[in-house]
Structure 1
Amino acid sequence: MNPILLDWIEFAVRWTHVITAVAWIGSSFYFIALDLGLHRDRNLATGADGEEWQVHGGGFYHIQKYLVAPEQMPSDLVWFKWESYSTWLSGFAMLFVVYYLGGDLFLIDPNKLDIPVWQGAVISMASLGLGWVMYDQLCKTKFGDNNTRLMILLYVILVAMAWGYNQVFTGRAALLHLGAFTATIMSANVFFIIIPNQKIVVADLIAGRKPDPKYGKIAKQRSTHNNYLTLPVIFLMLSNHYPMAFGTEYNWVVASLVFLMGVTIRHFFNSMHARKGKPGWTLAVTAILFVLIIWVSSLSRWEYQEDAALSQTAHKYSAAEGFDDVVNIVMGNCSMCHAAEPGWPGIAVPPKGVMLEIPEQVAIHAKQIYLQAGRSHAMPPPSASYILPEDRAEIVKWFESVNG
Structure 2
Amino acid sequence: MAAILSNLRTTVIVSFVLSALFLAVFVGLGWIGLNFDFWQGLARWTHVVSGIMWIGLLWYFNFVQIPNMPKIPDDQKPAIGKVIAPAALFWFRWGAVATVVTGLAVAHLNQYMVSALTLGATTSFSVPYHIFIGIGMWMAIIMAANVWFVIWPNQKIALGMVEAEAEAKPKAARTAMLFSRTNTLLSFPMLIAMAMAQTVFG
TM-score (norm 1): 0.36
Question: What aligned pairs does 1:237-386 form with structure 2 within 5 A after superposition?
Answer: 237-243=194-200, 246=201, 352=202
SS of the equivalent of 1:40 reads helix
SS of the equivalent of 1:168 reads coil
* Counterpart residue number, 2:3: none
Question: What aligned pairs does 1:19-58 form with structure 2 within 5 A after superposition?
Answer: 19-35=49-65, 37-38=67-68, 40=70, 44=73, 46=75, 48=77
Distance across 2 between alignment mates of 1:86 and 1:242: 24
Structure 2 residue 202 is matched with structure 1 residue 190: no
Change (3 A) 1:91 1:211: farther
SS of the equivalent of 2:166 reads coil
**Structure 1 residue 4 displacement after superposition:** 6.0
Structure 2 residue 43 is matched with structure 1 residue 13: yes
Q: In the alignment, is the contact (CA less than 8 A) between 1:175 and 1:239 conserved in 2?
A: no
Aligned length: 163
**Structure 1 residue 216 displacement after superposition:** 2.0
SS of the equivalent of 1:210 reads coil
Percent same amino acid at aligned positions?
Answer: 25
Q: In the alignment, is the contact (CA less than 8 A) between 2:62 and 2:180 conserved in 1?
A: no
Per-residue Cα deviation, 1:79-109 (whole angstroms, up to 9, x for no partner): 2311111111111111111134xxxxxx8xx
Q: In the alignment, is the contact (CA less than 8 A) between 1:165 and 1:178 conserved in 2?
A: no
Change (3 A) 1:41 1:6: closer
AA aligned to 2:42 is A
Structure 2 residue 190 is matched with structure 1 residue 233: yes
Change (3 A) 1:28 1:181: same
Structure 2 residue 56 is matched with structure 1 residue 97: no
**Structure 1 residue 228 displacement after superposition:** 1.3
If asked which structure has higher relative contact order (CA below 8 Å, sep 6+), I would say: 2
Root-mean-square deviation (CA, aligned residues, Å) is 3.2
AA aligned to 1:191 is W
More helix by share: 2
* Counterpart residue number, 1:210: 166
Q: In the alignment, is the contact (CA less than 8 A) between 2:133 and 2:194 conserved in 1?
A: yes
AA aligned to 2:39 is I
Structure 2 residue 86 is matched with structure 1 residue 86: no
Q: In the alignment, is the contact (CA less than 8 A) between 1:25 and 1:230 conserved in 2?
A: yes
* Counterpart residue number, 2:7: none
**Structure 1 residue 232 displacement after superposition:** 1.4
SS of the equivalent of 2:177 reads helix
**Structure 1 residue 24 displacement after superposition:** 1.3
Q: Say which of 125, 131, 142 aligns to 1:168.
A: 125
Distance across 1 between alignment mates of 2:76 and 2:195: 44
Change (3 A) 1:41 1:25: closer
Change (3 A) 1:34 1:172: same
AA aligned to 1:25 is I
Per-residue Cα deviation, 1:37-92 (whole angstroms, up to 9, x for no partner): 427367x351749xxxxxxxxxxxxxx65xxx5xxx56x94123111111111111
TM-score (norm 2): 0.67
